[in-house]
C-alpha cells in the first residue's frame, strides 16, 4: 500500500501559449497579430533557489511592433514584489525571448503573468504560468465551527433512519458478455431516490469495488470493463439518472439552499455518497477490505468527503478536487453565479455564506481520512487552484501520495485515467505481477 507522501513530477518543461486576436489592427479582422508564451525549466522549485521563466514574443505582422513588457507575480503566501517593466521592439515577423528570475520564499504557489502592451493598442497580450514550492507544507487555517462534527454526526444518524430500499435491475450489456450490468436505485437522505450503474464480473468470487462519483453536473455512466473489479458509477441527487426528486437544472448546486446549512445541496449530496457505500457494503460479492472511492473535480471533493465521513472506505482517489478551502478559493477565482446569488437577497453576506460553506469544506473534514489517498492535480488549473487542493490534502492523517501535472489545467487526460486504473489494481493486488 502507500506508505509515505511523495511528489511525482510528470514533465520538466512546460509551455502555455496564448494567442491574441485584435480585429481593429488589420483589415482582415481576425488575423493573429502577436503571440506570447511562457516556459520554465521547472515548476516545483526549491525555496530560495532562483528559477528563470522565459517569455517568447512573436510579431506576426509585416511591420515593426514596440511596446512594454511587464512581469507581475501574485501569491496568497507572500507579499508580491513590484512589477518589472522593459521596453521592447520587434521587427517584422521577429521573435524574441525575455527572461524573468524569481524565487519562492516559502511553501505555496505563485502566479506569474507576462503582459505585452503594444504601443498603439489598448488591449494587452497576456500569458500566465504557475509555480509551486514545498507542497507538502502548504496549510491554511481551518474554518470549522465548534459544532462541525456534531453537525455531521447528526446528519449521518438522520441518513441511517432512512430505509435504503436497494433495488437492482439487470440491464443488457451490449459490449461485454463477461460483465453483468445493473441499474441500481436506493433511498437516501430526505427520502430522495438516487441511482447508479453497477458492473460486476460474470464469474464467482469476491471482488474489490470502486465507487465512481461525478464532477459538477456530470452524468456517471458505465465504464469500459475492468477485469476483477466491481465498479459502481454513482449519480448523487441532481446528476445523471438521479433526477426524479432533485432536478439537475439549472446546474446551480453550490448555491442551492445555501442560506441554511441544513438545506444546502451538498449536505444531501455528501450523504448520498455514504448511502452508495452502504449499498456496496450490502453485497456479499464485495471485498469489504478493498473499497475505493474515486472522482474528479466535484467528484474529487466527494471522494474526500466520503472517505472522511465513512471509515469503510479503504482507498481515496481525488483528481483536481473541488469543494476545498472555500476562503482561499474565492480569493483565487471569480464566479458570476456566486456574485448573483449574494446580490439576490439583501440579508446575504460573504461572512455568513462562508460560514455555511465551512460545514462542507473538505479541508475541515480531511483530518478524518485515515485510508491511503491519491491526489492528482493540474498545476495550471484555474477552476480548482492547487492552493485549495493541497490545503485539504495536507490535512489527511493517513498515508498519501500526490502527482502534479505541470502543464495541465482542469483536466488530466486519458493517459492519467488509465494510469489510475492500473494504480488501483496494483494497490488491490490485481496486477499481473501480483497475480503471478
Q: Are 289 and 314 in contact (CB under 8 A)?
A: yes
Question: DSSP labels for 301-338?
Answer: HHHHHHHHH-TT--EEEEES--S--HHHHHHH---HHH
Sole residue written with cell 493517513: 398
Phi, psi of 7 (to 5 degrees): -125, 130
Report CA-CA distances (Å) from 401 to 260, 302, 371, 423: 35, 18, 12, 12
Crossing angle between the packed helical segments 298-309 and 265-281, to the nearest 10 degrees: 60
Distance CA 192, CA 142 (A): 31
Residue 278 appears among annotated catalytic residues? no
Q: Please pick, among 272, 314, 361, 381, the residue that the annotation labels catalytic.
A: 381
Residue 410 a catalytic site member: yes
Q: Give the separation between CA 126 and CA 69, rounded to whole angstroms.
A: 10
Q: What is the DSSP letter of 150?
A: H
* Contact status, residue 208 vs residue 230, Cβ threshold 8 Å: yes
Question: What CA–CA distances, in Å, run from 232 to 209, 295, 306?
Answer: 7, 12, 14
| H, E, C per residue of 192-236 | CEEEEEEEEECCCCCEEEEEEECCCCCCCCCCCCCCCCEEEEEEC
User: Annotated catalytic residue: which of 100, 239, 402, 410?
Assistant: 410
Tell how many helices (H) and how many strands (E) occur in the chain.
10, 19
Q: How far is CA 178 from CA 151, 168, 175, 205, 233, in A?
A: 44, 18, 9, 14, 18
- Going by the DSSP 8-state scheme, the letter that residue 29 receives in this structure is S
Question: In 321-424, which ranges are E strands?
Answer: 373-378, 400-405
Q: Which of 297, 358, 376, 389 is catalytic?
A: 297
Task: Give the β-pairing of 207-213 and 230-235.
Answer: parallel
Q: Which residues are catalytic?
A: 297, 381, 410
Amino acid at each position: 500500500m502507500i506508505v509515505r507522501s511523495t511528489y511525482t513530477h510528470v514533465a520538466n518543461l512546460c509551455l502555455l501559449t496564448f494567442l491574441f486576436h485584435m480585429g481593429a489592427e488589420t483589415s482582415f479582422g481576425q488575423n493573429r497579430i502577436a503571440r506570447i508564451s511562457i516556459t520554465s525549466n521547472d515548476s516545483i522549485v526549491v525555496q530560495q533557489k532562483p528559477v528563470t521563466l522565459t517569455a517568447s514574443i512573436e510579431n506576426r505582422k509585416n511591420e515593426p511592433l514596440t511596446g512594454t513588457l511587464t512581469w507581475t507575480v501574485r501569491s496568497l503566501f507572500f507579499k508580491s514584489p513590484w512589477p518589472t517593466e522593459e521596453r521592447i521592439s520587434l521587427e517584422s515577423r521577429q521573435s524574441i525571448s525575455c527572461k524573468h528570475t524569481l524565487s519562492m520564499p516559502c511553501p505555496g504557489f505563485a502566479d506569474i503573468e507576462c503582459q505585452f502592451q503594444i504601443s498603439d493598442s489598448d488591449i494587452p497580450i497576456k500569458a500566465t504560468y504557475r509555480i509551486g514550492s514545498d507542497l507538502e507544507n502548504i496549510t491554511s487555517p481551518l474554518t470549522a465551527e465548534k459544532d462541525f462534527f456534531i453537525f455531521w454526526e447528526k446528519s449521518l444518524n438522520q441518513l441511517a433512519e432512512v430505509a435504503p430500499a436497494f433495488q437492482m435491475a439487470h440491464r443488457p450489456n451490449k459490449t461485454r458478455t463477461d460483465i453483468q450490468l445493473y441499474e441500481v436505485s436506493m433511498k437516501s437522505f430526505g427520502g430522495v431516490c438516487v441511482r447508479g450503474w453497477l458492473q460486476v464480473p460474470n464469474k464467482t468470487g469476491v471482488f474489490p469495488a470502486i465507487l465512481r462519483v461525478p464532477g459538477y453536473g456530470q452524468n456517471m455512466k458505465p465504464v469500459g470493463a475492468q477485469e476483477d473489479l466491481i465498479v459502481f458509477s454513482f449519480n448523487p441527487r441532481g446528476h445523471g439518472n438521479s433526477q426524479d426528486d432533485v432536478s439537475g437544472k439549472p446546474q446551480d448546486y453550490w448555491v442551492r439552499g445555501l442560506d441554511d446549512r441544513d438545506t444546502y445541496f451538498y449536505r444531501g449530496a455528501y450523504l448520498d455518497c455514504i448511502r452508495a457505500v452502504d449499498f456496496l457494503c450490502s453485497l456479499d460479492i464485495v471485498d469489504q477490505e478493498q473499497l475505493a472511492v474515486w472522482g474528479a473535480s466535484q467528484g474529487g471533493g466527494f471522494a474526500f468527503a466520503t472517505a472522511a465521513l465513512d471509515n469503510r472506505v479503504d482507498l481515496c482517489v481525488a483528481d483536481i478536487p473541488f469543494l476545498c478551502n472555500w476562503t482561499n478559493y474565492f480569493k483565487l477565482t471569480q464566479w458570476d453565479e456566486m456574485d448573483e446569488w449574494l446580490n439576490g437577497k439583501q440579508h446575504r453576506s460573504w461572512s455568513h455564506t462562508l460560514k455555511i460553506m465551512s460545514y462542507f469544506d473538505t479541508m475541515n473534514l480531511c483530518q478524518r481520512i485515515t485510508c491511503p489517498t491519491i491526489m492528482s492535480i493540474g498545476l495550471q488549473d484555474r477552476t480548482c487552484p492547487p492552493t485549495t487542493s493541497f490545503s485539504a490534502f495536507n490535512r489527511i492523517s493517513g498515508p498519501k501520495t500526490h502527482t502534479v501535472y505541470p502543464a495541465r489545467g482542469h483536466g488530466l487526460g486519458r493517459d492519467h485515467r488509465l494510469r489510475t486504473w492500473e494504480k488501483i489494481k496494483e494497490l488491490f493486488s490485481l496486477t499481473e505481477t501480483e497475480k503471478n
